[in-house]
Amino acid sequence: PRLWLACTSAMVWWLLAEINTLLATSQNEGNLDSINTWDNCYLSWGMFQWTMGPLGDPGELAALLKVIKEKQPAAFKTFFGDFAIDIAPVTGSKTGYLLLNNVIQNTDARKKAFRNNNWALRFALAGKDPAICAAQVLHAINRFNNFYFVADPAFGGLSINDMLSSEYAASLLLDQHVNRPGHVKDVVSSALIQAGITPQQMAHGSDADELKVINKYLAIRKDFGKSPMTNSDTRAKVIKNFLDKGLISAKKKSFISNRSLRQ
C-alpha cells in the first residue's frame, strides 16, 4: 500500500502500466523501508533491495542515494547528509560507492560498519519518508532504461520491448534484471530460438506468440548460468498471481512507458 501511495501521490504523471509492473515485481524484493544487514553485501535497502556491493565492489545503493540527493536534497540531508553520508564522485546511474566522513566505502572493513543497528534504523526510517519513497520508485522504474528499451544487434536492431511488450512480460523481465541482470538478454535469445520465432516475427506476433516465448523464457531462466536466478519459479508464481487477478495484462503492447517525461 505504501508503494501505491508513493506512486500515485508523488509520481502522478506516470502511466498505470508502469505502476502495475512495479507492484508485481516489488513483491519479490522488499518494502520501501525494508532493510537487510546479514548477507555479503553488508546493507541492502528498499523495494529492490539495493546493496553496497560485496567486498571492494561498487553497489547499486550508492546510485539510488545519488538520485535521492539530486531529486530530494532536503530529505537526503535529513536522513543521510546530516550523518556524514555522501556520494563518491565515481558513482554513476547504476553503481558506485558511498562516502562516510569523506572516506570512500570501498573495503570490507569500512562496509562492515554499516551492519550497525544505528545505520539499519537510519535507512529504515528514511524508507518511510514520502519524498524518499518517490525517489525509490523513480529509480526503480528507470531500471527499464538499462536493458528493456536498448536496441541490440543480437535482435536485429530491435529492443526487448519491441518483441515482448505486455505488462506480464515486463514484470517478469524486470524481476530477473533485479536478481540476475546479466542473464536477461541471453535467456530471451534462447527462448526465441526454442520457440522457433525470430525477433522480427516476435515484434509483429500475437499475444499467443508472446506467451509461448515467455513460457520458454521461464523454463530457461530458472537453471540458466553458473549462478542461476534465486527462487525463479517462486518469483514467477508471485507475478503470475498478479496476472490471474487481472492486476497486470498479458496483451502485447499493454506495457506503456512514459519515460520520455523523465529524460
pLDDT, one tens digit per residue, over 36-80 is 999 999 999 999 999 999 999 999 999 999 999 999 999 999 999
| φ/ψ (deg, to 5) at 34 | -70, 145
* Number of neighbours of residue 89 by Cβ within 10 angstroms: 9
* Three-state secondary-structure class, residue 85: strand
The pTM (predicted TM-score) of the whole model is: 0.88
Spatial CA neighbour of 158 closest among 135, 108, 192, 120: 192
Q: To the nearest whole number, what is the mean pLDDT of the chain?
A: 92
* Three-state secondary-structure class, residue 56: coil
